[in-house]
Amino acid sequence: MTQADALPPAPVPAPITWDDFLRVELRVGRVLRAEAFPEARKPAYKLWIDFGPEIGQRKSSAQITAHYTPEELVGKLVLAVLNFPPRQVGPFMSECLVTGLHDAQGAVTLCVPEHAVEPGTRLL
């Protein structure tokens, strides 16, 4: 029995409209630079991500150290929310939210496209 099997089912979230979904600006970006973020409260990396010529670069703090090294992240396509307000994380201003999923051990694995797409491509 896994930990997930022992938990009661999560409540079904309230439905949203298509317009609600469209308000979330989820786009693919390419990691240009990644470095350790020792000032963060939890283990994290600082990421600089290119979202194409229309949007440009954004920075993000991401707690993805369990599965990735900074070197592995450079060049990787990631999916991020671009229309959250910027958030100060220690001395670093995070300008987008890189998306991920918790694995069975609670570590974050990135949401990434299965095939190559251009930076700036919006999630449908």
Nearest Cα to Cα of residue 55 among 75, 37, 34, 82: 82
Q: What is the pTM of this model?
A: 0.88
Kindly list the distances between the CA atom of residue 85 and the CA atoms of 30, 41, 55, 76, 88, in Å, as whole numbers in the listed order: 20, 20, 15, 24, 10
Contact in structure between 32 and 57 (CB atoms under 8 Å): yes
The predicted pLDDT at position 5 comes to 62
CATH of the structural domain 23-109, one choice from 3.10.580.10, 2.40.50.140, 3.30.70.1170, 3.40.50.11740: 2.40.50.140
Tens-place pLDDT, residues 21-47: 999 999 999 999 999 999 999 999 999
Residues in the chain predicted with pLDDT less than 50, given as ranges, are none
What pLDDT, on a 0 to 100 scale, did the predictor assign at position 73? 99
Amino acid 120: pLDDT: 98
